[in-house]
Chain A
């Protein structure tokens, strides 16, 4: 499978995530779209890792090249999990105070 396909796929998913961030007002949905972006990144990382691995296999059958990409994905997941816990806590706190998760509602701070 040519790497471009994966790149296009992931960029598309990534951009959909961005569009979601830009078009939705619900903080939770926005946050979910960020998660979508992260997943696009993860997929691309794995694809690249396999690509590099494939290239390296040509020279050495026991090559472990490319594993760092997958490890990175692991760390992204770790970070994402941590972020989610903090993020949801913040959103809940916000909701507690304002009974809303609308980000357009966040406009006390401006100018």
Chain B
């Protein structure tokens, strides 16, 4: 077992464990922290896949900006384990079972997928994940969606104003 494998398994286990902890934590603040851990694990995966740019962005944008925003909101609302509402047991069970079913059917589909047999992921090498290459592609081939997504931000901005501003 190579280092890559070990790292893969470790990061995977970490991601899944942290993800589960996001769910089971009663305290929303803990959930946020566990989620940040998931993001870290995923960033680790990115690095493993030699997608450095995304790894960084993931950390900065997600783990950094977005999760801080979440944390900020939760703190603002003063949410904690005591105030955290809990679903009825049966509803939780139903949720877990149906989510599990969803996983099962998808996994069984993947297992049967013949075209995915014998395909492997290029680990650690490959330079498409480098900032230079991504940047080149982003500002040449993908300039249209890039520009258009500015509209998205504009509307999000307007939205934040409309919704957030006190009348």
Q: A residues bordering B, Cβ < 8 Å? A: 1-9, 11-26, 28-29, 31-33, 35-36, 39, 42-43, 46-47, 49-51, 53-55, 57, 64-68, 70-71, 73-75, 77-86, 88-93, 95, 101-102, 104
Contact = CB atoms under 8 A, between A and B. Distances in A.
A85 B151 CA distance: 14
Contacts of B156: 82-83, 85-86
B119 A46 contact: no
A101 B50 CA distance: 39
11 contacts: A9-B16, A15-B99, A23-B91, A33-B22, A36-B22, A65-B128, A67-B128, A71-B142, A73-B51, A77-B61, A81-B65
Given A23-B95, A67-B133, A77-B61, A3 B23 contact: no
Given A53-B122, A93-B163, A80 B66 contact: yes
Most chain A beta-carbon contacts within 10 A, residue among B22, B50, B123? B22
Main secondary structure of the interface of B (DSSP, over half): helix
A86 B160 CA distance: 6
Contacts of A14: 103
A4 B28 CA distance: 33
Contacts of A47: 49, 121
A31 B65 CA distance: 15
A79 B150 CA distance: 10
A28 B74 contact: yes
Contacts of B5: 1
Main secondary structure of the interface of A (DSSP, over half): helix
Nearest to A6: B121
A86 to B, nearest CB: 5
B54 to A, nearest CB: 5
A95 B110 contact: no
Given A1-B121, A11-B103, A90-B163, A54 B126 contact: yes
B85 A67 contact: no
Interface string B115-149: 01001111100101100011001100010010001
B133 A64 contact: yes
A1 to B, nearest CB: 5
Interface in B1-44: 4-5, 8, 12, 15-16, 19-20, 22-23, 28, 31-32, 35, 38-39, 42
Given A46-B45, A82-B156, A86-B156, 16 more contacts: A3-B120, A9-B15, A9-B16, A11-B106, A16-B99, A26-B79, A31-B70, A39-B58, A50-B128, A70-B51, A71-B137, A77-B57, A82-B155, A85-B69, A85-B157, A85-B160
